[in-house]
Structure 1
Amino acid sequence: MITFLGISFALLTSFGVFAQTEEQPASWKHSVNSLGNEEYHLIFEADIKEEWFIYSLYTAEGGSMPSEFEFKKAGEDYALLGPTEEGKTYKKYTEVFDVEETFFKEKALFKQRIKRLRPEVNQIEVVLYYQICKEVCILKEEVFNIALDGSTVDASPTKGTLDERSLSMTKALKLNLKNKEILNESSRDDQEGTSQLWLIFSLGFLGGFIALFTPCVFPMIPLTVSFFTKQSHTKGKGVANALLYGLFITLIYFLLSLPFHLFDSVDSQILNTIATNIWLNILFFVIFVVFAFSFFGYYELTLPSSWANKMDAASNKVGGALGIFFMATTLAIVSFSCTGPILGGLLGSTTLAEGEVATNLTAGMTGFGLALALPFMLFALFPAWLNSLPKSGGWMTTVKVVLGFLELALAFKFLSNADLVGNWGILKRELFLGIWIVLFVLLTLYLLGILRFPHDGPRAKLSVARKAMAVVSIGVVVYLSLGLFKVLDLKVLSGFPPPDFYSYQQSKSDCPLGLNCFKDFEEGVAYAKANQKPILLDFTGWACVNCRRMEENVWSDPAIFPLINEDYVLISLYVDDRKPLAKDDQFQFQYPSGRIKRIETIGQKWGTFQTINFNAASQPYYVLLSPDLEILNHAVQYVDVATYGAWLRKGLAVFEPKK
């Protein structure tokens, strides 16, 4: 049995890494001691606030994430002499990870000996990646600019004064837009956002409904309802307790989403950065593969049994409404082996969806909790319905295996995101579709009883439901195959496979639909000025699902494509592009608060560009501009063909080319 706190609920805290207030729980300083013969001692010290702690570089493997130093240009400008030494540390056994962890409290101290290899080098850069924890853990990054002659350099340049070069580049990033007030004239985006939330709520509700039919939840329904109706002195009291129990189930899943709402207090681009982070997408891929094989029956994922025991004991001891709350918490814990993978899918799906990730997650989690809670409330109100419930049996195993295959399919979406953002060119459209075809072929073989898994019972006659699901699975295989050979355009799956232009076959353009586009704003504006055409500014992302849906479902429409291709200059800016900027183009950007952000990648540049000029951080985000940077219409995001077409035509009507 595998304890999964380190991957799932710890994932909530790792996502909540930036969910803290402006309080800085640790203050850092550094010093340099010359040892002679070009050798130096680098010393890094932190004063840690009470109750906070920082993990050691050498904390036990399999536990929490250790601290890690990155010594820039080590081996080129200087050599590291021996391992990094640490000051006083503490050890504590952690039941969650079943290891003894090592950490600092009150003070942290690191020492590293180096030998300078090039005499002209007097300043080096060291980056420390660490997590500092209290109730939750915050991932942090400290940048130390160290002068070897002992002079003082700001150890963590999060605030300060920009150099002339950065000031100039920051100024150049801000546009002198005309008619900027037009951007927010329409309430259409709010309506679309509401529609998106209802869609995600519905998907969460569907996930919770599916979870009801798993072996961890389904048998609990009659048992729990019977408990409330029999243990209460009156029927009315039993019904009230069951309703309260359902309310608390919904509340628990709603509360699990709240830490995500604190992200915006740090950086408007942080959610996009997290959702499109290469390594996080790879982590999601691994997690979903682990989820899938747990559903296949090779192992079971559970939270620590002590959690459930403590919640159960608390419910018996406290009684009343609080006791019912602890009962609901117990259900959430003991059912985790079945609900965890579905919740993981919900969490992953909200990072793929557009809009505010935290708001999306709250809508989805609330829908999930409500679907899980409704049967307990309804059967308490109408106990006779219990007689119509199907008996537990092998059909629940079938549900889990089908979910396992869907988890695997979603896993490759995250691997595709990493491949797209990293521009690796490995998991292109053909291979992605081929993998999905294989997965659904295997699912079909399972549903037909040919492929079997460890927890399958004796072979039995196939039910009508399994045969029907097998037919649906075969249909998916045929549909994907036709898409692979370009007989169909796969519009139903828009946004999930890599875009058409991300193909092993040589493409005429690396822009959507073969359009002529610019991926640099200044180049696009220059072309628009030369040709006196209006600009369609497209803030997009490699891992943006709704961007692909817009391109494949809206831009491809015969009424839309000619407008973009012939009447507009398309500038597509990818905010999740991880390619580094040329050294001369990297700079530091200063927010009005004084905080400084390092702009090192193409995506960081365009994400910051979008935020400071249009006060937006979501994708897709479309703006119509004249070559002189006059706003031609309000901004739009994910809309239908008719709305988008009318929006483009209005921009053309307003635009007046210079003669």
Structure 2
Amino acid sequence: MRFIFLVSTLFNVILSQSNPVSFSSNIGSIARAGEVINIEILASMEDKWHIYSVHKITEGPLPTEISISGDVIGSIGPIIEPEPKYVFDPGFDSETYYHEGDTKFSLFSRLKRDLQPGKYPINIEIYYMVCNERLCYPPKVKNDVVYVEVEEGSARSDRTSFALLNNQSGNNNSQIDNSLLGILILAFGGAIISWIMPCVYPMIPIIISFFGKMSEEKNVSRFTIASFYGLGIAGTFVAIGLGVSILSWGVTDIAAKSRYANIGNFIATDPFLNLGLGILFIFFALWMFGIINVNIAGKLVNKTDQAGQSSKSAYLGAFLLGVAFSITSFSCTVPVVGTLLVVAATGTAGGMLTSLYGMIVYGLVFAAPFVALSFFPKALDKIPNSGSWMETLKISFGFIEIAAAVKFLWVPDLEWSIGLLPRNVVLIIFIIIGTALIGYLAGLFSIGSSSNVKPFRLGRGRIVGVLFTLFFLYPITMSVVHPPTYHYDGMPRLMDEFIEALVPPPPTEDEIAREEGWFVDQYDEALEEAYRTKKPLFIDFTGVYCANCRVMERRVFPQNEVKEQLDKMVLARLYVDKKDSLSEVYSKMQFERYNQATQPYYVILDPFDESTLADTGGYIPKGFSQFLEKGANKFSKRDYNEK
């Protein structure tokens, strides 16, 4: 009894050692209902100690997790952190990103719009692991409470946007800026792609000529006519962006009242919404292929066009004609605009801001050639003539739309555990789509009206398209042919992250272990199986965030001489650092039975009396097979047939 008390006391001492990191939290100022607040969390670490990044997560150490809860929370925005330091960790075989010294995290949250004045609590939970060069303490949870004071009054316009508040806070982190930059690039590129669509590109010289005719009839400069025409185009898309923004604002409230953190999370994970988006993108693809044709708002186009033609005002007439052209161009631009709006709605700056911002950029860039070429009409002689290359481009985008549909469809498949679109199936579908695109570009088959183009010619554009497709197919193929992680570690990180965003998550270490016959966090079941089969029980006391554990499991266990010995045993992998009560049980078991608290630690048991046949710990690439053989030999010498 004294021994058990002593062991328990020592175990508690280990868990309650002085913490080399401390946290403090505060809220900047008094807020109003519907406004975004900034919760600042300061982590102060002792010299040579560090915690890991919130966002830059790799397959290695425990990322810092910060969460908030409270009745006042309407929606939760991004967590902002300083740029972390990084170093390559050979144990995890990857870069690890960490913070040291004094580090400030900012978490943005929008208050509910129906709050009454008063003081409200907000609960903060920080889950973290602190390490130095030699060791890591077990993951810990820090709980804190801060109070936000809500005053009377409507929400102030400069405090309703996650992005605006971040700029005012002076935080140097660029996460939100990067989100807006990504939308800018996508909107800019999407507008350029729209220029060369079959329903837009051939119309450019016709419209420029129309500007000259209208200029003479209305006695207004060509540039003025073009400017108002461009405003009509841009205004149409801005109106679409504004409409989606208002819808995003409403969906944000729906998301906040459900299990979703914000609209971005809602769009990324809601199975019904993703199913709808998947069907929509299949529709877009069939549209691009010319298999289906829909006349969008035909009556609206006719009325707008008639109003523009009959208007006595040159400015209003040009504006309305620009609106009419924008609506007409939807037959080609809807897939591009739809993709942009979906991506924009998931932006870290908030769906309302990014949707409107994206459409403003798209509309202005889309209208730019009409205004610019009215200034320099002779430049029309230098642009390529319209032709079959536009149809080729349109069909190529159809294949991309199918791939986008698959990306959305695997979300409900994963959420509802249907099993039709696991990771490797999705990767193979992407390979099939890419191969089909290459076949189309190489002239092996035709789709839609492109089948009427004779004779076939493999031009430079098609060759570039083939090479571009092969560039993306290579890492996707490598992700399929490199089990068991289904993850090709040799590809550049940017491409790696791009692929990971398109496919379901890879199997976890636990799933892989179970496929290989391990009992994961199932000591009693493993012991029973060892007893039934009369085999020794091999226990791997491991940790999710243990670098040496991963090295042993990935590099030592697969060795032939080691695997040969492991095949003679029942295998159990017991985690001691997960955020659950079972890990606490196994952690205590390791310490109380073997007086050890480090990982990895390996034990070979006799399942009949749970006596130890052999045990060892640490990173031991050499001699590990001899250790296993020693335990197996001890077990074989026992007369277990009589037990």
TM-score, L = length of structure 2:
0.49
TM-score (norm 1): 0.48
Q: Which has the higher Rg, Structure 1 or Structure 2?
A: 2
Select the structure that is richer in helix.
Answer: 2
